[in-house]
Copies of this chain bind each other. A is one copy, B any other.
Protein backbone atom coordinates (compact mmCIF):
# COMPACT_ATOMS: atom_id res chain seq x y z
CA UNK A 1 0.00 0.00 0.00
CA UNK A 2 2.88 2.38 0.68
CA UNK A 3 4.24 1.72 -2.78
CA UNK A 4 0.83 2.49 -4.25
CA UNK A 5 0.72 5.80 -2.40
CA UNK A 6 4.21 6.67 -3.56
CA UNK A 7 3.31 5.95 -7.16
CA UNK A 8 0.10 7.91 -6.79
CA UNK A 9 2.08 10.92 -5.56
CA UNK A 10 4.63 10.72 -8.39
CA UNK A 11 1.91 10.29 -10.96
CA UNK A 12 -0.10 13.15 -9.49
CA UNK A 13 2.90 15.46 -9.75
CA UNK A 14 3.32 14.53 -13.44
CA UNK A 15 -0.42 14.91 -14.02
CA UNK A 16 -0.34 18.41 -12.51
CA UNK A 17 2.39 19.43 -14.95
CA UNK A 18 0.58 17.82 -17.89
CA UNK A 19 -2.57 19.67 -16.89
CA UNK A 20 -0.73 22.97 -16.83
CA UNK A 21 0.70 22.20 -20.27
CA UNK A 22 -2.85 21.58 -21.45
CA UNK A 23 -3.98 24.93 -20.07
CA UNK A 24 -1.12 26.66 -21.89
CA UNK A 25 -2.41 25.00 -25.07
CA UNK A 26 -5.90 26.31 -24.40
CA UNK A 27 -4.55 29.81 -23.79
CA UNK A 28 -2.58 29.61 -27.03
CA UNK A 29 -5.76 28.92 -29.02
CA UNK A 30 -7.92 31.47 -27.22
CA UNK A 31 -6.24 34.51 -25.68
CA UNK A 32 -2.45 34.42 -26.06
CA UNK A 33 -0.94 37.50 -27.74
CA UNK A 34 0.33 36.32 -31.14
CA UNK A 35 3.96 37.35 -30.55
CA UNK A 36 4.16 34.91 -27.61
CA UNK A 37 4.05 31.83 -29.86
CA UNK A 38 7.74 31.15 -29.54
CA UNK A 39 8.05 31.46 -25.75
CA UNK A 40 4.86 29.42 -25.42
CA UNK A 41 6.50 26.54 -27.31
CA UNK A 42 9.40 26.71 -24.86
CA UNK A 43 7.08 26.78 -21.85
CA UNK A 44 5.16 23.75 -23.06
CA UNK A 45 8.34 21.88 -23.90
CA UNK A 46 9.76 22.57 -20.44
CA UNK A 47 6.63 21.19 -18.77
CA UNK A 48 6.47 18.17 -21.07
CA UNK A 49 10.09 17.39 -20.31
CA UNK A 50 9.57 17.63 -16.54
CA UNK A 51 6.51 15.39 -16.71
CA UNK A 52 8.37 12.93 -18.94
CA UNK A 53 11.30 12.85 -16.52
CA UNK A 54 8.94 12.04 -13.67
CA UNK A 55 7.08 9.35 -15.59
CA UNK A 56 10.29 7.63 -16.66
CA UNK A 57 12.31 8.19 -13.47
CA UNK A 58 13.84 5.25 -11.68
CA UNK A 59 11.76 6.08 -8.60
CA UNK A 60 8.64 5.72 -10.75
CA UNK A 61 9.88 2.54 -12.41
CA UNK A 62 11.00 0.89 -9.18
CA UNK A 63 7.77 1.68 -7.35
CA UNK A 64 5.68 0.41 -10.24
CA UNK A 65 7.80 -2.74 -10.60
CA UNK A 66 7.31 -3.54 -6.90
CA UNK A 67 3.60 -3.95 -7.57
CA UNK A 68 3.38 -5.27 -11.12
CA UNK A 69 5.71 -7.26 -13.33
CA UNK A 70 6.70 -4.82 -16.05
CA UNK A 71 7.30 -7.58 -18.62
CA UNK A 72 4.31 -9.83 -18.12
CA UNK A 73 1.87 -7.43 -16.47
CA UNK A 74 1.28 -9.89 -13.63
CA UNK A 75 0.22 -8.17 -10.41
CA UNK A 76 2.72 -8.70 -7.60
CA UNK A 77 1.00 -6.77 -4.84
CA UNK A 78 -1.98 -9.00 -4.10
CA UNK A 79 -3.38 -6.86 -1.28
CA UNK A 80 -4.59 -4.17 -3.64
CA UNK A 81 -8.23 -3.66 -4.57
CA UNK A 82 -9.48 -4.56 -8.05
CA UNK A 83 -9.66 -0.89 -8.85
CA UNK A 84 -6.06 -0.36 -7.82
CA UNK A 85 -4.96 -3.39 -9.83
CA UNK A 86 -6.66 -1.89 -12.88
CA UNK A 87 -4.83 1.37 -12.24
CA UNK A 88 -1.54 -0.51 -12.07
CA UNK A 89 -2.21 -2.19 -15.41
CA UNK A 90 -2.90 1.18 -17.03
CA UNK A 91 0.17 2.75 -15.40
CA UNK A 92 2.29 -0.14 -16.64
CA UNK A 93 0.84 0.14 -20.16
CA UNK A 94 1.78 3.80 -20.41
CA UNK A 95 5.15 3.38 -18.73
CA UNK A 96 6.26 0.55 -20.98
CA UNK A 97 5.34 2.54 -24.10
CA UNK A 98 7.08 5.64 -22.81
CA UNK A 99 10.26 3.81 -21.90
CA UNK A 100 10.57 2.19 -25.29
CA UNK A 101 10.99 5.49 -27.12
CA UNK A 102 14.45 7.04 -26.74
CA UNK A 103 14.47 10.77 -26.00
CA UNK A 104 16.51 11.40 -29.15
CA UNK A 105 13.71 9.75 -31.15
CA UNK A 106 11.01 11.78 -29.41
CA UNK A 107 12.94 14.94 -30.18
CA UNK A 108 13.43 14.05 -33.84
CA UNK A 109 9.76 13.15 -34.13
CA UNK A 110 8.69 16.46 -32.59
CA UNK A 111 11.05 18.51 -34.76
CA UNK A 112 10.07 16.69 -37.96
CA UNK A 113 6.34 16.94 -37.44
CA UNK A 114 6.54 20.54 -36.32
CA UNK A 115 8.19 21.39 -39.67
CA UNK A 116 5.83 19.09 -41.57
CA UNK A 117 2.71 20.77 -40.16
CA UNK A 118 4.00 24.06 -41.47
CA UNK A 119 4.77 22.64 -44.93
CA UNK A 120 1.45 20.78 -45.05
CA UNK A 121 -0.42 24.05 -44.53
CA UNK A 122 1.47 25.59 -47.41
CA UNK A 123 1.07 22.51 -49.64
CA UNK A 124 -2.67 22.47 -48.97
CA UNK A 125 -3.01 26.16 -49.67
CA UNK A 126 -1.04 25.87 -52.91
CA UNK A 127 -2.57 22.50 -53.79
CA UNK A 128 0.95 21.14 -54.22
CA UNK A 129 1.39 17.61 -52.87
CA UNK A 130 5.00 17.42 -54.03
CA UNK A 131 5.93 20.04 -51.41
CA UNK A 132 4.59 17.83 -48.66
CA UNK A 133 5.72 14.48 -50.04
CA UNK A 134 9.33 14.40 -48.70
CA UNK A 135 8.05 15.37 -45.26
CA UNK A 136 5.41 12.67 -45.36
CA UNK A 137 8.07 10.17 -46.43
CA UNK A 138 10.24 11.15 -43.48
CA UNK A 139 7.28 10.87 -41.12
CA UNK A 140 6.38 7.43 -42.47
CA UNK A 141 9.95 6.30 -41.78
CA UNK A 142 9.76 7.64 -38.24
CA UNK A 143 6.35 6.12 -37.65
CA UNK A 144 7.66 2.73 -38.82
CA UNK A 145 10.64 3.17 -36.53
CA UNK A 146 8.26 4.03 -33.69
CA UNK A 147 6.36 0.81 -34.31
CA UNK A 148 9.64 -1.11 -34.13
CA UNK A 149 10.58 0.56 -30.84
CA UNK A 150 7.18 -0.24 -29.35
CA UNK A 151 7.10 -3.76 -30.80
CA UNK A 152 4.27 -5.65 -32.56
CA UNK A 153 3.21 -9.14 -33.53
CA UNK A 154 0.88 -9.10 -36.50
CA UNK A 155 1.02 -5.63 -38.00
CA UNK A 156 3.26 -2.64 -37.23
CA UNK A 157 0.06 -0.58 -37.15
CA UNK A 158 -0.88 -2.42 -33.93
CA UNK A 159 1.87 -0.56 -32.11
CA UNK A 160 0.42 2.76 -33.29
CA UNK A 161 -3.26 2.15 -32.55
CA UNK A 162 -2.32 1.13 -29.04
CA UNK A 163 -1.45 4.76 -28.27
CA UNK A 164 -5.01 5.86 -28.93
CA UNK A 165 -6.91 2.64 -28.16
CA UNK A 166 -5.01 0.69 -25.52
CA UNK A 167 -5.42 -3.02 -26.11
CA UNK A 168 -7.06 -2.69 -29.51
CA UNK A 169 -5.53 -4.40 -32.58
CA UNK A 170 -5.53 -3.85 -36.32
CA UNK A 171 -7.37 -7.09 -36.94
CA UNK A 172 -10.18 -6.13 -34.56
CA UNK A 173 -10.64 -2.89 -36.45
CA UNK A 174 -10.42 -4.79 -39.74
CA UNK A 175 -13.44 -6.81 -38.64
CA UNK A 176 -15.47 -3.86 -37.33
CA UNK A 177 -14.75 -1.71 -40.35
CA UNK A 178 -15.25 -4.68 -42.71
CA UNK A 179 -18.84 -4.97 -41.50
CA UNK A 180 -19.36 -1.27 -42.19
CA UNK A 181 -17.85 -1.57 -45.63
CA UNK A 182 -20.31 -4.29 -46.51
CA UNK A 183 -23.37 -2.30 -45.52
CA UNK A 184 -22.74 1.40 -45.77
CA UNK A 185 -21.81 2.13 -49.39
CA UNK A 186 -25.06 0.54 -50.55
CA UNK A 187 -27.05 2.36 -47.89
CA UNK A 188 -25.35 5.65 -48.72
CA UNK A 189 -26.13 5.29 -52.42
CA UNK A 190 -29.76 4.50 -51.70
CA UNK A 191 -30.11 7.45 -49.30
CA UNK A 192 -28.29 9.87 -51.60
CA UNK A 193 -30.81 9.01 -54.25
CA UNK A 194 -33.68 9.70 -51.85
CA UNK A 195 -32.09 12.94 -50.59
CA UNK A 196 -32.15 14.55 -54.02
CA UNK A 197 -35.67 15.79 -53.61
CA UNK A 198 -35.06 17.34 -50.18
CA UNK A 199 -34.75 21.12 -50.22
CA UNK A 200 -31.40 22.21 -48.72
CA UNK A 201 -32.71 25.75 -48.36
CA UNK A 202 -35.10 24.92 -45.56
CA UNK A 203 -32.26 23.80 -43.31
CA UNK A 204 -30.20 26.98 -43.54
CA UNK A 205 -30.33 29.51 -40.73
CA UNK A 206 -27.20 31.62 -40.82
CA UNK A 207 -26.13 33.25 -37.61
CA UNK A 208 -23.77 36.15 -37.00
CA UNK A 209 -20.83 36.01 -34.64
CA UNK A 210 -22.53 37.05 -31.41
CA UNK A 211 -25.62 35.04 -32.24
CA UNK A 212 -23.55 31.90 -32.58
CA UNK A 213 -21.90 32.42 -29.25
CA UNK A 214 -25.30 33.03 -27.65
CA UNK A 215 -26.71 29.93 -29.30
CA UNK A 216 -23.85 27.74 -28.15
CA UNK A 217 -24.22 29.06 -24.62
CA UNK A 218 -27.95 28.37 -24.69
CA UNK A 219 -27.34 24.79 -25.79
CA UNK A 220 -24.97 24.33 -22.85
CA UNK A 221 -27.50 25.85 -20.47
CA UNK A 222 -30.21 23.53 -21.78
CA UNK A 223 -28.17 20.42 -21.03
CA UNK A 224 -27.09 21.97 -17.71
CA UNK A 225 -23.41 21.96 -18.54
CA UNK A 226 -21.68 22.80 -15.24
CA UNK A 227 -20.22 26.29 -15.62
CA UNK A 228 -18.67 26.13 -12.17
CA UNK A 229 -16.28 23.51 -13.54
CA UNK A 230 -16.26 24.47 -17.18
CA UNK A 231 -16.41 27.34 -19.62
CA UNK A 232 -16.76 28.13 -23.29
CA UNK A 233 -14.57 30.44 -25.34
CA UNK A 234 -13.82 31.16 -28.98
CA UNK A 235 -11.14 29.57 -31.14
CA UNK A 236 -10.52 28.87 -34.84
CA UNK A 237 -11.46 25.21 -34.52
CA UNK A 238 -13.76 24.01 -31.74
CA UNK A 239 -12.09 21.75 -29.20
CA UNK A 240 -12.47 20.42 -25.69
CA UNK A 241 -9.70 20.16 -23.17
CA UNK A 242 -9.43 19.54 -19.47
CA UNK A 243 -6.81 19.90 -16.76
CA UNK A 244 -8.71 18.48 -13.79
CA UNK A 245 -12.36 17.47 -13.29
CA UNK A 246 -12.95 20.96 -11.88
CA UNK A 247 -11.43 22.69 -14.89
CA UNK A 248 -12.78 21.54 -18.25
CA UNK A 249 -13.10 23.95 -21.14
CA UNK A 250 -14.60 23.90 -24.58
CA UNK A 251 -14.40 26.33 -27.44
CA UNK A 252 -16.65 27.20 -30.31
CA UNK A 253 -15.96 29.09 -33.50
CA UNK A 254 -17.41 32.40 -34.53
CA UNK A 255 -17.03 32.56 -38.29
CA UNK A 256 -20.44 32.51 -39.91
CA UNK A 257 -22.08 29.12 -40.28
CA UNK A 258 -25.46 27.60 -39.75
CA UNK A 259 -27.50 27.19 -36.59
CA UNK A 260 -27.83 23.43 -36.94
CA UNK A 261 -24.09 22.82 -37.09
CA UNK A 262 -23.38 25.26 -34.27
CA UNK A 263 -25.77 23.41 -31.97
CA UNK A 264 -24.29 20.02 -32.89
CA UNK A 265 -20.69 21.16 -32.54
CA UNK A 266 -21.51 22.48 -29.10
CA UNK A 267 -23.15 19.22 -28.04
CA UNK A 268 -20.14 17.33 -29.43
CA UNK A 269 -17.59 19.32 -27.40
CA UNK A 270 -19.84 19.27 -24.34
CA UNK A 271 -19.94 15.47 -24.63
CA UNK A 272 -16.14 15.36 -24.39
CA UNK A 273 -16.15 17.90 -21.60
CA UNK A 274 -18.78 16.23 -19.42
CA UNK A 275 -16.82 12.96 -19.58
CA UNK A 276 -13.74 14.72 -18.17
CA UNK A 277 -15.78 16.68 -15.63
CA UNK A 278 -17.25 13.52 -14.19
CA UNK A 279 -14.10 11.49 -13.85
CA UNK A 280 -13.71 10.68 -10.15
CA UNK A 281 -12.01 13.62 -8.51
CA UNK A 282 -10.70 11.53 -5.62
CA UNK A 283 -8.53 9.53 -8.02
CA UNK A 284 -7.03 12.57 -9.73
CA UNK A 285 -3.47 11.83 -10.80
CA UNK A 286 -4.13 8.11 -11.36
CA UNK A 287 -5.51 6.24 -14.39
CA UNK A 288 -8.77 5.87 -12.45
CA UNK A 289 -9.42 9.53 -13.19
CA UNK A 290 -8.47 9.31 -16.86
CA UNK A 291 -10.63 8.69 -19.91
CA UNK A 292 -10.31 5.20 -21.37
CA UNK A 293 -9.27 5.95 -24.93
CA UNK A 294 -9.73 8.32 -27.86
CA UNK A 295 -12.46 6.08 -29.25
CA UNK A 296 -14.28 6.01 -25.93
CA UNK A 297 -13.97 9.78 -25.69
CA UNK A 298 -15.35 10.15 -29.17
CA UNK A 299 -18.23 7.83 -28.29
CA UNK A 300 -19.28 10.33 -25.64
CA UNK A 301 -19.10 13.36 -27.92
CA UNK A 302 -20.96 11.44 -30.64
CA UNK A 303 -23.55 10.33 -28.12
CA UNK A 304 -24.50 13.96 -27.52
CA UNK A 305 -23.96 15.12 -31.06
CA UNK A 306 -25.65 12.34 -33.02
CA UNK A 307 -27.91 10.40 -30.67
CA UNK A 308 -29.27 13.51 -28.94
CA UNK A 309 -28.56 16.46 -31.24
CA UNK A 310 -29.26 14.81 -34.58
CA UNK A 311 -32.75 13.68 -33.58
CA UNK A 312 -36.10 15.23 -34.37
CA UNK A 313 -36.80 15.03 -30.61
CA UNK A 314 -34.01 17.44 -29.77
CA UNK A 315 -35.20 19.88 -32.38
CA UNK A 316 -38.82 19.68 -31.21
CA UNK A 317 -37.37 20.97 -27.94
CA UNK A 318 -34.69 23.32 -29.20
CA UNK A 319 -36.10 24.77 -32.44
CA UNK A 320 -38.69 26.91 -30.61
CA UNK A 321 -36.01 28.10 -28.17
CA UNK A 322 -33.73 29.16 -31.01
CA UNK A 323 -36.66 30.78 -32.79
CA UNK A 324 -37.41 32.85 -29.73
CA UNK A 325 -33.75 33.92 -29.57
CA UNK A 326 -33.53 35.03 -33.20
CA UNK A 327 -37.09 35.46 -34.53
CA UNK A 328 -35.92 37.45 -37.53
CA UNK A 329 -33.80 34.56 -38.76
CA UNK A 330 -36.64 32.04 -38.91
CA UNK A 331 -38.79 31.80 -42.00
CA UNK A 332 -41.92 29.79 -42.24
CA UNK A 333 -40.24 26.39 -42.10
CA UNK A 334 -41.62 23.47 -40.08
CA UNK A 335 -39.37 21.65 -37.65
CA UNK A 336 -39.73 18.50 -39.75
CA UNK A 337 -38.63 20.25 -42.93
CA UNK A 338 -35.72 21.94 -41.11
CA UNK A 339 -34.59 18.64 -39.65
CA UNK A 340 -35.00 16.71 -42.92
CA UNK A 341 -33.01 19.33 -44.82
CA UNK A 342 -30.19 18.93 -42.30
CA UNK A 343 -30.26 15.15 -42.56
CA UNK A 344 -29.58 14.80 -46.26
CA UNK A 345 -27.12 12.14 -47.35
CA UNK A 346 -24.74 13.19 -50.12
CA UNK A 347 -21.21 11.94 -50.65
CA UNK A 348 -18.76 14.76 -49.97
CA UNK A 349 -15.10 15.18 -50.81
CA UNK A 350 -14.32 16.57 -47.39
CA UNK A 351 -14.47 14.40 -44.29
CA UNK A 352 -15.48 17.13 -41.85
CA UNK A 353 -18.35 18.24 -44.09
CA UNK A 354 -19.85 14.80 -44.55
CA UNK A 355 -23.15 13.47 -43.36
CA UNK A 356 -23.52 10.77 -40.73
CA UNK A 357 -23.83 7.95 -43.23
CA UNK A 358 -20.84 8.61 -45.47
CA UNK A 359 -18.56 9.83 -42.67
CA UNK A 360 -17.30 6.36 -41.66
CA UNK A 361 -16.31 5.67 -45.26
CA UNK A 362 -13.89 8.60 -45.14
CA UNK A 363 -12.34 7.09 -42.03
CA UNK A 364 -12.08 3.63 -43.56
CA UNK A 365 -10.26 5.04 -46.60
CA UNK A 366 -7.71 6.70 -44.30
CA UNK A 367 -7.36 3.56 -42.18
CA UNK A 368 -6.62 1.39 -45.20
CA UNK A 369 -4.15 3.88 -46.68
CA UNK A 370 -2.25 4.53 -43.48
CA UNK A 371 -1.89 0.83 -42.79
CA UNK A 372 -0.21 0.53 -46.20
CA UNK A 373 1.95 3.61 -45.64
CA UNK A 374 3.13 2.14 -42.36
CA UNK A 375 3.72 -1.32 -43.83
CA UNK A 376 5.58 0.30 -46.72
CA UNK A 377 3.37 -1.26 -49.40
CA UNK A 378 2.19 2.22 -50.40
CA UNK A 379 4.88 4.77 -51.21
CA UNK A 380 4.12 8.35 -50.09
CA UNK A 381 4.55 9.60 -53.64
CA UNK A 382 1.75 7.30 -54.79
CA UNK A 383 -0.64 8.54 -52.11
CA UNK A 384 -2.69 10.97 -54.25
CA UNK A 385 -3.44 8.29 -56.82
CA UNK A 386 -4.32 5.71 -54.17
CA UNK A 387 -6.49 8.26 -52.37
CA UNK A 388 -8.44 9.14 -55.46
CA UNK A 389 -8.93 5.49 -56.40
CA UNK A 390 -10.22 4.71 -52.90
CA UNK A 391 -12.62 7.67 -53.02
CA UNK A 392 -13.96 6.47 -56.36
CA UNK A 393 -14.39 2.88 -55.16
CA UNK A 394 -15.94 3.74 -51.80
CA UNK A 395 -17.82 7.00 -52.26
CA UNK A 396 -18.14 7.13 -56.01
CA UNK A 397 -16.56 10.57 -56.32
CA UNK A 398 -13.05 11.73 -57.20
CA UNK A 399 -11.43 14.87 -55.80
CA UNK A 400 -10.51 17.36 -58.53
CA UNK A 401 -7.46 18.40 -56.48
CA UNK A 402 -5.23 17.07 -53.68
CA UNK A 403 -6.30 19.99 -51.56
CA UNK A 404 -9.75 18.40 -51.50
CA UNK A 405 -8.12 14.98 -51.47
CA UNK A 406 -5.20 13.58 -49.54
CA UNK A 407 -4.06 17.01 -48.30
CA UNK A 408 -7.28 17.84 -46.46
CA UNK A 409 -6.42 16.55 -42.97
CA UNK A 410 -3.71 17.74 -40.60
CA UNK A 411 -3.25 14.34 -38.87
CA UNK A 412 -0.50 12.77 -40.97
CA UNK A 413 1.61 15.93 -40.87
CA UNK A 414 1.41 15.65 -37.07
CA UNK A 415 2.58 12.04 -37.23
CA UNK A 416 -0.76 10.91 -35.77
CA UNK A 417 -0.92 7.55 -37.52
CA UNK A 418 -3.44 5.26 -35.82
CA UNK A 419 -5.67 8.13 -34.72
CA UNK A 420 -8.27 8.14 -37.52
CA UNK A 421 -9.97 4.84 -36.53
CA UNK A 422 -10.93 6.39 -33.16
CA UNK A 423 -13.49 8.60 -34.88
CA UNK A 424 -15.44 5.67 -36.21
CA UNK A 425 -14.78 3.45 -33.21
CA UNK A 426 -16.46 6.28 -31.31
CA UNK A 427 -19.59 5.92 -33.41
CA UNK A 428 -19.54 2.15 -33.12
CA UNK A 429 -19.14 2.22 -29.32
CA UNK A 430 -21.77 4.92 -29.04
CA UNK A 431 -24.30 2.81 -30.95
CA UNK A 432 -23.53 -0.25 -28.83
CA UNK A 433 -24.15 1.78 -25.70
CA UNK A 434 -27.22 3.50 -27.03
CA UNK A 435 -29.18 0.31 -27.64
CA UNK A 436 -28.81 -0.46 -23.92
CA UNK A 437 -29.62 3.12 -22.95
CA UNK A 438 -32.87 2.91 -24.93
CA UNK A 439 -33.90 -0.19 -23.01
CA UNK A 440 -33.10 1.49 -19.68
CA UNK A 441 -34.96 4.66 -20.67
CA UNK A 442 -37.69 3.80 -23.14
CA UNK A 443 -39.14 7.29 -22.60
CA UNK A 444 -35.93 9.04 -23.70
CA UNK A 445 -37.55 10.68 -26.72
CA UNK A 446 -40.23 12.41 -24.68
CA UNK A 447 -37.66 13.40 -22.09
CA UNK A 448 -35.54 15.10 -24.73
CA UNK A 449 -38.57 16.77 -26.24
CA UNK A 450 -39.22 18.39 -22.86
CA UNK A 451 -35.60 19.34 -22.33
CA UNK A 452 -34.86 16.74 -19.65
CA UNK A 453 -31.29 15.51 -20.18
CA UNK A 454 -30.63 14.42 -16.63
CA UNK A 455 -31.24 10.71 -17.12
CA UNK A 456 -28.71 10.66 -19.97
CA UNK A 457 -26.03 12.21 -17.83
CA UNK A 458 -26.75 9.93 -14.90
CA UNK A 459 -26.70 6.87 -17.13
CA UNK A 460 -23.39 7.80 -18.75
CA UNK A 461 -21.87 8.77 -15.43
CA UNK A 462 -22.74 5.48 -13.78
CA UNK A 463 -21.96 3.33 -16.78
CA UNK A 464 -18.78 4.96 -18.03
CA UNK A 465 -17.53 8.26 -16.63
CA UNK A 466 -17.05 7.26 -13.01
CA UNK A 467 -14.85 4.27 -13.87
CA UNK A 468 -11.94 6.18 -15.37
CA UNK A 469 -9.60 3.62 -16.91
CA UNK A 470 -10.70 0.78 -14.64
CA UNK A 471 -11.87 -1.11 -17.76
CA UNK A 472 -10.73 -1.07 -21.39
CA UNK A 473 -13.22 0.16 -23.95
CA UNK A 474 -14.25 -3.33 -25.07
CA UNK A 475 -14.57 -4.43 -21.43
CA UNK A 476 -16.81 -1.52 -20.59
CA UNK A 477 -18.99 -2.03 -23.64
CA UNK A 478 -19.46 -5.64 -22.58
CA UNK A 479 -20.09 -4.65 -18.97
CA UNK A 480 -22.72 -2.06 -19.94
CA UNK A 481 -24.43 -3.88 -22.83
CA UNK A 482 -23.83 -7.51 -21.88
CA UNK A 483 -22.57 -8.08 -25.44
CA UNK A 484 -19.29 -7.98 -27.32
CA UNK A 485 -18.62 -4.82 -29.29
CA UNK A 486 -19.87 -5.04 -32.89
CA UNK A 487 -20.68 -2.79 -35.82
CA UNK A 488 -24.23 -4.11 -36.08
CA UNK A 489 -25.86 -1.51 -33.78
CA UNK A 490 -24.23 1.30 -35.73
CA UNK A 491 -25.41 -0.07 -39.08
CA UNK A 492 -28.86 -0.68 -37.59
CA UNK A 493 -29.01 2.90 -36.33
CA UNK A 494 -27.97 4.45 -39.65
CA UNK A 495 -30.35 2.30 -41.71
CA UNK A 496 -33.33 2.77 -39.43
CA UNK A 497 -32.89 6.47 -38.86
CA UNK A 498 -32.30 7.49 -42.44
CA UNK A 499 -34.76 5.08 -44.05
CA UNK A 500 -37.60 6.38 -41.87
CA UNK A 501 -36.76 10.04 -42.48
Contact = CB atoms under 8 A, between A and B. Distances in A.
Contacts of A38: 246
A16 B248 CA distance: 24
Given A31-B231, A43-B16, A244 B36 contact: yes
Contacts of A19: 39, 43
Contacts of A32: 247
B16 A42 contact: yes
Interface in A21-42: 23-24, 27, 31-36, 38-40, 42
Interface string A238-260: 00000110111100000000000
B247 A31 contact: no
A32 B31 CA distance: 13
A459 interface: no
A41 to B, nearest CB: 11
A379 to B, nearest CB: 42
Interface stretch (A122-130, A222-230, A475-483, A492-500): A222-230
A50 interface: yes
A214 interface: no
Contacts of A227: 33
A17 interface: yes
A246 B39 contact: yes
B13 A46 contact: yes
A233 interface: yes
B231 A35 contact: no
A31 B243 CA distance: 14
A35 B243 contact: no
B36 A247 contact: yes
A413 B247 CA distance: 28
Nearest to A21: B20
Oligomeric state, in number of copies? 2
Nearest to A12: B42
A35 B233 contact: no
Contact of A39 (B27, B31, B50, B244): B244
A47 interface: yes
Interface residues of A, number: 36
A233 B30 CA distance: 12
Contacts of A13: 46
B50 A228 contact: no
Nearest to A13: B46
A246 B34 CA distance: 8
A22 to B, nearest CB: 11
Contacts of A24: 20, 23
A42 to B, nearest CB: 6
Nearest to A44: B20
Contact of A243 (B20, B39, B47): B39
Contacts of A35: 226, 228-229, 246-247
B23 A27 contact: yes
Nearest to A228: B35
Contacts of A43: 16, 19-20, 243
Contacts of A27: 23, 27
A33 B243 contact: no
A17 B48 CA distance: 12
Nearest to A244: B39
- Which of A42, A246, A284 gathers most chain B CB within 10 Å? A246
Contacts of A233: 31
A27 B246 CA distance: 14
A231 B35 CA distance: 11
Interface string A190-234: 000000000000000000000000000000000000111111010
Closest 10 CB pairs of A and B: A36-B247, A35-B246, A39-B244, A36-B246, A35-B228, A35-B229, A16-B46, A33-B229, A34-B228, A33-B231
6 contacts: A19-B39, A23-B24, A33-B228, A35-B246, A36-B246, A36-B247
